[in-house]
Amino acid sequence: PTTVAAQAGPDVERIPLRGLRRRTAETMTHAWRSIPHTVGFHEVDAAELLSLRRRLKPRAERAGFPLTLTPFLVKASALALVDHPMVNTAFDEAADEIVVHHRRNVGVAVNTDDGLIVPVVRDAERKPLLAIARELAGLASAARDRSIDLAALQGGTFTVTNHGPLGGHFGTSIIKPPEAAIIGFGMAREGPVVLDGEIVVRPILPVSFASDHRIVDGDLSIGFCLTVKALLEDPISLLVEEG
User: Cα–Cα distance between 153 and 107 in angstroms, integer?
Assistant: 8
User: Cα–Cα distance between 216 and 96 in angstroms, integer?
Assistant: 15
Task: Tally Cβ neighbours within 10 Å of residue 203.
Answer: 18
User: Cα–Cα distance between 238 and 116 in angstroms, integer?
Assistant: 28
Count of alpha carbons within 13 angstroms of residue 121, beta-carbon side: 32
Alpha carbon 140 to its chain centroid, in Å, reads 14
* Catalytic choice (30, 102, 163, 213): 213
Q: Is 213 a catalytic residue?
A: yes
DSSP state of 40: E
Note whether 78 and 49 are within 8 A (CB): no
User: Cα–Cα distance between 208 and 32 in angstroms, integer?
Assistant: 17
Residues marked active site are found at 213
